Structure 1
Amino acid sequence: KLPVGQVYGITWHRNNEDLGFTLVSAHFTADVYSVNIRTNKVERWTESETGGLNTANFSDAELVRWQSFDGRTISGFLYRPPTKFPGKRPVIIDIHGGPEGQSRPSFLGRYNYYLNELGVALLFPNVRGSTGYGKTFMTLDNAYKREDSVRDIGALLDWIATQPDLDKDRILVSGGSYGGYMSLAVATKYSDRIRAAIDIVGISNFVTFLENTESYRRDLRRVEYGDERDPKMREFLLKISPVNNASNIRKPLFVIHGQNDPRVPLREAEQIVETVRKNNIPVWYLMAKDEGHGFSKKQNIDFQFYATVMFVKEYLLK
C-alpha cells in the first residue's frame, strides 16, 4: 500500500521484479520508492529534507466533487485544517493557471501555514478547461464559453455552503495567470459571496492582453480565448473582461505582478488596480521590478507570502 500522492518516473529495476518511482505527497517533497511486483513489498529508498519540520500531521488532500450549473461534475482537492481549530473554517479557493493546467495533490510547503497556524481550509478546483479529464472537458471553456468555468466556481460556492465544517461567509478566492483572471471574474460575478480576492499576474482585459502578449504565443492564445481581431469576438472579450466589470468588485483586492512579465504584461495589473481604486474599494498592489510571470527570487517569494498572510488575516479572518 503506497502513501497517497503523485507518482513520477516509473522505471524497472534490472532484476525485473522491482518497480522504482518517485512519489510526492502532502508529507514529503519527492522520495524514491520501489514496489516488488511478486511480493507487493513497498520500500522507501530516500528521506527528503523538509527543514526539520514535523510533517506527520500535515493535512492530506481529499478529492471532492460538486455539480455545476449544467449538471456536469467538477472536482478539486480539499485540505482541511487540523481539528484543534473548532467551528466552521474559512476557505481559500486557489485556481490554477493555464487554463490547460491541473491542480494535483502535492507537498504544500509554506501553504501549510494557512492550514496549521491560521486554521484556513484550502481548496484547489479543476474547473472545465483543465487537463486530465479528456479532450472534450478541456475545450468546454474555449472562446464564447469562457465564463462557464467561472460558473463552476459559483457552483463550488454552493457546495461549500453545504459542508458542516466550512464557512460559506468567509471565502477568499486566489489564482495566478489564468487563475488570476478567474479570481477577478469571480470577484465581479460573486462579490457578495466572497470576502476578498487575490490576482497574481492575471489577465484583466482579454483584448489588451492578446494585443500585448509576446508575439511568439499570441496565435496559441487566440485558439484558447478567441481572436480579438474579429469584431464579434472582440465585443464579447471586452464584455467579459474583469476591468470592464470592475464596478461589481465590492470586496478587497490584492494584485501581484512582475514588471517584466512577457506573458501577461504589467498593464493588466495596473488597469485593474486603477479602476477598482476609483470605486473606493481597498486594493493592495505589489509589483516587483525584477520579476516576470510569477516571482522566482527567494526574497521576493518571501515578501509575497508574508504580504499575502497579512492580507488574509486582515480581510478573511477578522
Structure 2
Amino acid sequence: MGDSTALLELEGLSLPAAGLGALDLRLMPGEVVALLGAGSGAALAVLAGQARAVAGRVRLPAGPPGLLPPPAALFRNRSVLENLAPALATWPAAERSSRAARLLAQTGLEGQEGKRPSQLSPAQQLRLCLARALAPAPRLLLLDDPLAGLDPTPRRGLALAWRGLFRRLGLTVLLTTPEAMEAMALADRILVLEDGEVVQEGPPQALYEAPATAFVAGLVGENNRLPGTVLALEEDMARVKLDCGPELEARLADAGGPGSRCIVAVRPEKVAVAAMSAEELGEGAVPAALREVVFLGPEIRLVLEIGTGGVLVARRPPGGRLPRPGGPAAVAWDGYAAFAYREPPMILLRGG
C-alpha cells in the first residue's frame, strides 16, 4: 500500500459469501466514489465493522468512518434537535448549538428543529440522518444505498442536493447504490463490480460513453443490444453481420475475431432517425420501419424495426419531422458510438 495521502486504501478485500471477490481501492481526500454492482454492500459492511473479510487489507489513517444511520434509527419521540444531540456529544458544550444550526442549514432542515421524525417527509428524515452522520465531522463518510425507500422524483432531487453538499463541504464519501443514474449524479468516480470483481472504473461520463463490457453498458444506461457475428476486424473497428440482416461497423470492445458471436450496443440518443430512404440518408444508413412513438415530456421515444425482426429504440427531443408509420424511414449512427461486445454465454436451466 503506502499512499499516505489517501483516506482509505483497500487491497484484495474479499468476502465471497456476500458476493465480494477481491477489491482494490484508494480513496483520496474530497473524493466521492460509488461502488455499483454485486458485492459492493459487502465492502461497506466490512469497513463499518458489520462483517469480517476473508482476505485483504484495509488502511484507514483517517480513523473510523462516519456511517449514515437508517431512518428507523431515529428517535421517534424526540425532536429534530434532540435527535442531533447524541451525535454532537464530542463537541464542546458551548459549540453544540451553533454546530446543530449549521448542520440543519446545510442539510435543508432549517425551521424543522421542533418537529418529530413522524412529522417529516421521508426525504426530510434522510436529511436528518445525514445531519447526524455529519455531526461528529468524520473525515470519511460511508453511505450504503443512502436514498433507498424514496420515490423516484424525491430520490433524484435529494441525490442532486447531496451532490452539491458533498462538494461544498469537501467531504470524502464512499457509497453504494443499485441505481446507476444515482451513482453518476453523486460520484466523481464509479467502480463497477460484476460477480464481485471490478470490471471497470472511472468518471461517470467515461463509463457511460465507453463501457468496457456489455454488462457495464447495460448497467449504466439504456442500450440497444443487437446480436450478430463478427465478419472482420480492422484496427479498433469490427464489421458485424446482424442476425436481423444489416451489416454495420462498431467500435471493438471485447468481442472476438471473425466468426465469433457478438452483441452490438448503441445508446438510443446516438441513433439518428430520418423520414427518408436509407439511400437518401447516406452511407451506413439502414432502412427502418417506425412501429411506435411514445411522448415522454422532454423526449420522444421511437421504436423501429430494422432488417427482419430487429428492434431498435431511438430517443430525440420533441419537435422536428418524424417518419410516419408505414412511410419511408432510415436510421444511422456513428460507428464509433456503437460497441461490439462478446455475446454472453447462454445459461441453460434444467428441470428436476
TM bin, normalised by shorter chain, reads under 0.3
**TM-score normalised per structure 2:** 0.23
**TM-score normalised per structure 1:** 0.25
Structure showing the higher strand proportion among its residues: 2
Structure showing the higher helix proportion among its residues: 1
